[in-house]
Amino acid sequence: MTVQELPGAAAYRPTPPPAWKPITDPAPLLPDPEPYRVLGTDAVADVDPELLLRLHAELVRGRRYNAQATALTKQGRLAVYPSSTGQEACEIAAALVLEERDWLFPSYRDTLAAVARGLDPVEALTLLRGDRHTGYDPRERRIAPLCTPLATQLPHAVGLAHAARLKGDDVVALAMVGDGGTSEGDFHEALNFAAVWKAPVVFFVQNNGFAISVPLAKQTAAPSLAHKAVGYGMPGRLVDGNDAAAVHQVLSEAVARARRGEGPTLVEAVTYRMEAHTNADDATRYRVDSEVEAWKAHDPVRLLEHELTERGLLDDAGIEQAKEAAERMAAALRDRMNADPELAPMDLFTHVYAEQTSQLREQAAALRAELDAEQDHDEHGPEAGR
Amino acid sequence: MTTAAVTADGRPVKAKPATMAQALGRALRDSMAEDPTVHVLGEDVGTLGGVFRITDGLAKEFGDDRCTDTPLAEAGILGAAVGMAMYGLRPVVEMQFDAFAYPAFEQLMSHVAKMRNRTGGAMPLPITVRVPYGGGIGGVEHHSDSSEAYYMATPGLHVVTPATVDDAYGLLRESIASDDPVVFLEPKRLYWSKADWSPEAPAAVEPIGKAVVRRPGRSATLITYGPSLPVCMEAAEAALAEGWDLEVVDLRSLVPFDDETVAASVRRTGRAVVVHESPGFGGPGGEIAARITERCFHHLEAPVLRVAGFDIPYPPPMLERHHLPGVDRVLDAVARLQWEADS
């Protein structure tokens, strides 16, 4: 007996499956074909001059901060410093678009964003100095610990924003990641969760051209990183990362959208890492000087300064004033970082668990004895205690 | 076993047979009812009630926001739980199976285990990660791993595993209430094990970090946990015929590890066998044997032996009985504890 001969087979007529339609209309989610710009375009007329001046002062300060932190590394005062020189427009804008109650989720390259948010630079640099992991209370500052494992902070931002929304709190989380980080699984999972949960999150990718040495072309075949948003059902925005006014505007819109309960946005800022990955890296092994020179012509500080002086909003005296303020910040930072941090070896055991296990108590006692012996030796010489 | 016999309002309570799965589900329910910050999230935990039905009824009682079906992505689930905990919630994450928890390892190792330490105590993460683990249920590959050694080797995590119905309820309640992250390993072949138990008046149990002597004895100590406890209890009964009176210690938590109870038992008996399903090489038994030797060397009449799973990827279901430590292997090990030296 064949299927056609089964009882009732004659009555069966194949019909098309139930109608299929896309879950989300992709058209409005697509990023612009070109990075969005404000400086040097008509759009700049709509920007509050006060904001431009504020951005300028912060950019100048940020540039000086990067230079000072790099110098501190050369002097041995920082174990390592991943510089955001050239990316100051992104760092500053990310900090300025947030309200005090919002949360920032920085990566290890984003100490400047934390500082621009008001964090004491010494506290921001504690991790990189190496005397303790996190130099501040994240809940008090609403700045997550600087995150080193790439993109792993993104799901945290989603969970936090989701929790805040469940509680009815008006809190937005802005999470920062680099172009290399977009290849990580956590980037994918975070964006997917955020979109499904409509979590008030802004994912902010600084595409600075390199993941240490690997250029973007070896990282992705996507039309742009912003295009990845469409696959998750959220809007993607592409912006010139060296145009502080444009980054500020695009991030502000994304934050406002999240605040309205409309869900997450992926923002890709196209920028350039002017320095090597860190002081321990040699950028000449993987990129040519002419490329760096080309980006210098599109420097975020110069771009904004040019706009402001062209329009008569800033003169040489104003520029000088901004530089002097930055110098004062740098001098204070240098002085404070030149003091040796107080080390607390016994604290190694204090915050592993709420309550020390018996094993940790034994190990702490052993270290205590070693420290006492060291001190005895230092005070009384090698014969002490024999 | 159960001591409490009255409800909160003083009515007498009759304990009835309950499964470990029911006790675990009740622990989740009671934790959620008591503390509005407790949120359950995972794959299929909502409408379905979990593949083992542990979360059955929670979404209905507390709503989808408290018991949430997530997208299928373990790192995302645990990563989101980290963020939720940062904001003051107390997430309970369900990993569907032992081997499906591996994608969440980076979140667990780099953030969950370390956040209290990274932030100098400012931001502990009260997250419970429930992981059904171990074999013996006829699962095809990737459904029967004993992954406890990985978790044990990560400072900052508590690693807890119940072997009784009372402990399933009591230890899960305590894990959820803990301000530290807990990897809560559920022996899935004991999910359907039964004991008299009363949801209205669950018995109080020893706290996390305390091992319990399940069977006192004088000849030798069997040290075990989770799915291997019933094996050891059965072996101890069978050993009587050989003239051995075995003590059985249920560790209950691998971290914190109760050196005191273990060492006290071995000092009494002078002989010890560690029993677990996890592969022996690099497994918990090596650490436990070393700790016993360090503390009880002069009391030992024989080397500490291990009965463990073979050092092989978990076998296909039709062969798993050859892999899992059973009563005979435990008794063989006991027989090798150099008894001739006594005579």
Structure confidence by residue, pLDDT tens digits, B310-331: 999 999 999 999 999 999 999 9
Mean local confidence (pLDDT), A343-367: 97
Residue A207 pLDDT:
98
Same domain, yes or no: A225 and A367 = no
Question: Pick from A138, A189, A358: which is nearest to B119 by CB?
Answer: A138
* Sign for the pseudo-dihedral over CA of B228, B182, B24, B206: positive
Looking at the predicted structure, is the pLDDT value of residue A3 above 80?
no
- Does B69 lie at the interface with A, CB-CB under 8 angstroms? no
Task: Report the candidate in A221, A236, A206, A19 with the shortest Cα–Cα distance to residue A113.
Answer: A206
Tokens of A140: 């008090």
Looking at the domain assignment, is residue A317 inside a domain?
yes
Same domain, yes or no: A326 and A360 = no
Residue B1 pLDDT:
42
Residue of B nearest to A194 (CA): B80
Number of domains in chain A: 2
Question: Pick from B70, B117, B257: which is nearest to A352 by CB?
Answer: B117
Run of H or E residues at B187? strand B182-187
Tokens of B11: 């009515």
Considering all CA atoms of chain A, what is the largest pairwise distance in Å, rounded to the nearest integer? 105
In whole numbers, what is the pLDDT of chain A averaged over residues? Answer: 95
- A195, A197, A202, A205: CA torsion to nearest 10: -50
Looking at the domain assignment, is residue A350 inside a domain?
yes
Mean local confidence (pLDDT), A6-12: 73
Residue of B nearest to A102 (CA): B87
Contact B85 A139 (CB under 8 A): no
Residue B5 pLDDT:
59
Collect all residues with Cβ–Cβ distance below 8 Å to A4 and sequence separation of at least 6: none
- Which of B38, B66, B117, B262 best probes binding to A when mutated, by most A CB atoms within 10 angstroms? B117
Residue of B nearest to A355 (CA): B180
Q: Count Cβ neighbours within 10 Å for each residue of A198-216 and write b for 16 or more, e otherwise.
A: bbbbbbbbbbbbbbeeeeb
Run of H or E residues at B152? helix B148-152
Residue A18 pLDDT:
87
Same domain, yes or no: A371 and A276 = no
B40-86 pLDDT, tens digit per residue, is: 999 999 999 999 999 999 999 999 999 999 999 999 999 999 999 99
B138-194 pLDDT, tens digit per residue, is: 999 999 999 999 999 999 999 999 999 999 999 999 999 999 999 999 999 999 999
- B63 chain-A contacts, CB cut-off 8 A: none
Residue A264 pLDDT:
98
- Which of A147, A351, A356 best probes binding to B when mutated, by most B CB atoms within 10 angstroms? A351
- B89 chain-A contacts, CB cut-off 8 A: 163, 166
Looking at the domain assignment, is residue A218 inside a domain?
yes
Contact A155 B75 (CB under 8 A): yes
Neighbours of B24 (CB within 10 A): 26
Looking at the domain assignment, is residue A13 inside a domain?
no
Same domain, yes or no: A349 and A238 = no
From residue A194, alpha-carbon distances to A265, B59, B77, B122 in Å are 9, 21, 11, 26
Contact A186 B257 (CB under 8 A): no
Looking at the predicted structure, is the pLDDT value of residue B255 above 80?
yes
Q: Closest Cα of chain A to B123: distance in Å?
A: 7
- A277 labelled catalytic: yes
Residue of B nearest to A148 (CA): B110
Task: Report the candidate in A106, A265, A101 with the shortest Cα–Cα distance to residue A194.
Answer: A265
Contact B119 A160 (CB under 8 A): no
Residue B7 pLDDT:
63
Positions of B marked active-site: 143
Confidence of residue A382 (pLDDT cuts 50, 70, 90): confident
- A189 chain-B contacts, CB cut-off 8 A: 71, 73, 75-76, 79
A361-373 pLDDT, tens digit per residue, is: 999 999 999 999 9
Burial class (CB in 10 A: 0-12, 13-18, 19+), B165: buried
Neighbours of B170 (CB within 10 A): 22
How far apart are the two ends of chain A, measured CA to CA in Å? 100
Residue of B nearest to A103 (CA): B87
Q: What domains sit in chain B, N to C, each tagged with a CATH number?
A: 16-197 (3.40.50.970), 212-342 (3.40.50.920)
Looking at the predicted structure, is the pLDDT value of residue A4 above 90?
no
DSSP per residue, A95-162 = HHTS-TTSEEE-BTT-HHHHHHTT--HHHHHHHHHTSSS-SS-HHHHTBPPPB-STTTHHHHHHHHHH
Mean local confidence (pLDDT), A348-361: 97
Question: Pick from A164, A189, A347: which is nearest to B73 by CB?
Answer: A189
Confidence of residue A12 (pLDDT cuts 50, 70, 90): confident
Tokens of B90: 């107390």
Looking at the predicted structure, is the pLDDT value of residue B2 above 60?
no
User: What residue numbers bound the domain in which A37 lies?
Assistant: 27-337
**Contact map slice: B 90-119 vs A, CB within 8 A:** 91, 103, 106-107, 110-111, 115-119
Confidence of residue A73 (pLDDT cuts 50, 70, 90): very high
Mean local confidence (pLDDT), A276-292: 91
Indicate the range of A19-28, A71-80, A319-328 predicted with least confidence: A19-28
Looking at the domain assignment, is residue A48 inside a domain?
yes
Long-range residue pairs from B172-176, CB within 8 A, at least 24 positions apart, any chain = B172/B24, B172/B27, B172/B28, B172/B31, B172/B128, B172/B130, B173/B27, B173/B30, B173/B31, B174/B207, B174/B208, B175/B128, B175/B208, B176/B27, B176/B28, B176/B31, B176/B35, B176/B38, B176/B90, B176/B92, B176/B126, B176/B128
- Does A346 lie at the interface with B, CB-CB under 8 angstroms? no
Looking at the predicted structure, is the pLDDT value of residue A224 above 90?
yes
Task: Report the candidate in A150, A137, A139, A140 with the shortest Cα–Cα distance to residue A110.
Answer: A150
Cis omega (within 30 of 0) for bond into B256: yes
CA within 13 Å, CB half, B299: 19
Same domain, yes or no: A272 and A174 = yes
A91-104 pLDDT, tens digit per residue, is: 999 999 999 999 99
Q: Closest Cα of chain B to A16: distance in Å?
A: 29
Same domain, yes or no: A373 and A297 = no
- Which of B118, B210, B257 best probes binding to A when mutated, by most A CB atoms within 10 angstroms? B118
B207 touches B174 (CB < 8 A): yes
Contact B121 A352 (CB under 8 A): no
Same domain, yes or no: A220 and A90 = yes
Residue of B nearest to A192 (CA): B71
Confidence of residue A384 (pLDDT cuts 50, 70, 90): low
- Does A277 lie at the interface with B, CB-CB under 8 angstroms? no
- Does A161 lie at the interface with B, CB-CB under 8 angstroms? yes
Same domain, yes or no: A306 and A353 = no
Q: What is the ipTM of this complex?
A: 0.94
The CATH number of residue A188's host domain is 3.40.50.970
B255 touches B158 (CB < 8 A): yes
Confidence of residue A385 (pLDDT cuts 50, 70, 90): low
Rounded percentage of chain A residues whose pLDDT exceeds 90? 90
- Does A23 lie at the interface with B, CB-CB under 8 angstroms? no
CA within 13 Å, CB half, B328: 4
Q: What distance in Å separates the CA atoms of residue A158 and residue A171, rounded to the nearest whole number?
A: 11
Looking at the domain assignment, is residue A223 inside a domain?
yes
Looking at the domain assignment, is residue A2 inside a domain?
no
Confidence of residue B270 (pLDDT cuts 50, 70, 90): very high
Mean local confidence (pLDDT), A323-331: 98
Contact B79 A152 (CB under 8 A): yes
In whole numbers, what is the pLDDT of chain B averaged over residues? Answer: 96
Same domain, yes or no: A174 and A206 = yes
Rounded percentage of chain B residues whose pLDDT exceeds 90? 94
Mean local confidence (pLDDT), B95-112: 97
B123 touches B181 (CB < 8 A): no
- A133 chain-B contacts, CB cut-off 8 A: 117-120
Rg of chain A over Cα atoms, rounded to whole angstroms, equals: 26
Same domain, yes or no: A152 and A262 = yes
Question: Pick from B76, B118, B180: which is nearest to A155 by CB?
Answer: B76
- B92, B98, B100, B104: CA torsion to nearest 10: 50
Same domain, yes or no: A177 and A227 = yes
Same domain, yes or no: A320 and A371 = no
Residue B342 pLDDT:
61
Looking at the domain assignment, is residue A198 inside a domain?
yes
Question: Pick from B111, B118, B257: which is nearest to A134 by CB?
Answer: B118
Contact B259 A354 (CB under 8 A): no
- B259 chain-A contacts, CB cut-off 8 A: 358-359
Question: Pick from B65, B76, B106: which is nearest to A193 by CB?
Answer: B76
B133-142 pLDDT, tens digit per residue, is: 999 999 999 9
Tokens of A203: 């994912």
- Does A166 lie at the interface with B, CB-CB under 8 angstroms? yes
